[in-house]
C-alpha cells in the first residue's frame, strides 16, 4: 500500500469521525461533471440539454443531470458497426 492510499484511508477515517463522510454515490451531477463522465465538452453537453436529449433537474438557478439519465443516454446511443 502506497503513502497516498494510507493518507486517503486516514482522511476517510477522520471524515467518518467528524460526521461528514457520505458513503452513498452521487446521484446528481453538475454540467461540467456530466460532461467529463460522457467524455464531452461543456458546450456539447449544453447542446444535448438544449436539444432535449438529456433531461435536467433544476435546483434554483443551478442545473443538474441525473446519473440515471446519463446511463439511459449511453444505452440509447449504443450501436455496432457491421
Q: What is the pLDDT of residues 40-62, one digit of tens each?
A: 999 999 999 999 999 999 989 99
Q: What is the DSSP letter of 25?
A: P
Task: Compute the mean pLDDT over every residue in the chain, rounded to the nearest whole number.
Answer: 84
Number of domains in the chain: 1
Note whether residue 22 is domain-resident: no
* pTM, full prediction: 0.67
* Residue 38 structural domain: 28-77
Q: Give yes or no for a contact between 13 and 19, defined as CB atoms under 8 angstroms apart.
A: no
Q: What is the pLDDT of residue 77?
A: 93
Q: Which of 53, 52, 46 is nearest to 72 (CA)?
A: 53
pLDDT tens by residue, 24-36:
778 999 999 999 9
Q: Give yes or no for a contact between 42 and 35, defined as CB atoms under 8 angstroms apart.
A: yes
Note whether residue 23 is domain-resident: no
Q: Give yes or no for a contact between 62 and 30, defined as CB atoms under 8 angstroms apart.
A: yes
Note whether residue 8 is domain-resident: no
Handedness of CA 19, 24, 30, 32 (dihedral sign): positive
Amino acid at each position: 500500500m502506497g503513502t497516498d492510499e494510507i493518507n486517503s484511508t486516514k482522511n476517510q477515517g477522520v471524515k467518518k469521525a467528524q460526521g461528514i463522510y457520505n458513503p452513498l454515490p452521487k446521484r446528481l451531477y453538475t454540467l461540467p461533471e456530466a460532461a467529463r463522465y460522457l467524455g464531452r465538452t461543456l458546450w456539447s453537453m449544453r447542446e444535448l440539454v438544449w436539444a432535449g436529449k438529456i433531461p435536467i433537474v433544476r435546483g434554483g438557478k443551478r442545473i443538474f443531470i441525473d446519473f440515471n439519465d446519463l446511463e439511459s443516454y449511453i444505452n440509447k446511443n449504443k450501436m455496432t458497426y457491421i
